[in-house]
């Protein structure tokens, strides 16, 4: 990327160091990718610190190295996209239209089923009534 014999000002080195530290790469990886001598890079860091430049710290771990032991714990709330339909029970019983009802009388027992009753409920009810007949 650059000529190794090229002279850089303190400001140029400072910008390069900031780029390196923001990259998430280790200093060695960043220098290798950008064609910068690692020894010159470290010397520039020492020289700038002596001149009171605020050199950003680097992470000791390479964030791209998946072999490093880590344990990241993140709480994840799982919310289903589709909420299950909730059955609403009215507070007041609605008026029943008896013209659409099935009424079964067996002795003193009277059973009324509406026209839209669940077929499984009707079958279970009739099956239970057979045992009394």
pLDDT at 56: 77
Q: Which residue has the tokens 């009324």?
A: 112
Burial of 121 (0-12, 13-18, 19+ CB in 10 A): exposed
Token output for 7: 């002279």
Average pLDDT over all residues of the chain: 75
Full-model pTM? 0.41
In a domain, 23, yes or no: yes
9-32 residue pLDDT tens: 989 999 998 898 888 888 889 999
Number of domains within the chain? 2
pLDDT for 57 equals 75
Full residue range of the structural domain in which residue 51 is found: 1-60
Is 68 among the domain residues? no
Confidence of residue 128 (pLDDT cuts 50, 70, 90): confident
Per the domain annotation, does 78 fall within a domain? no
Q: Do 109 and 55 share a structural domain?
A: no
* pLDDT score for 58: 65
In whole angstroms, give the CA distance from residue 19 to residue 58: 11
> Does the pLDDT at position 43 exceed 60?
yes
For the chain, the helix, strand and coil percentages under 3-state DSSP, each to the nearest 5 = 40, 10, 55
């Amino acid at each position: 990327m650059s000529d190794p014999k090229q002279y850089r000002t303190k400001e140029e080195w400072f910008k390069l160091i900031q780029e390196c530290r923001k990259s998430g790469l280790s200093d060695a990886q960043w220098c290798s990718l950008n064609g910068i001598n690692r020894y010159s890079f470290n010397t520039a860091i020492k020289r700038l610190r002596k001149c009171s430049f605020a050199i950003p710290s680097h992470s000791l771990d390479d964030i791209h190295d998946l072999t490093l032991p880590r344990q990241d714990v993140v709480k994840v709330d799982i919310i289903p996209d589709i909420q299950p339909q909730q059955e609403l029970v009215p507070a007041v019983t609605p008026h029943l239209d008896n013209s659409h009802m099935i009424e079964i009388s067996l002795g003193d027992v009277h059973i009324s089923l509406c026209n839209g009753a669940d077929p499984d409920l009707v079958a279970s009810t009739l099956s239970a009534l057979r045992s009394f007949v």
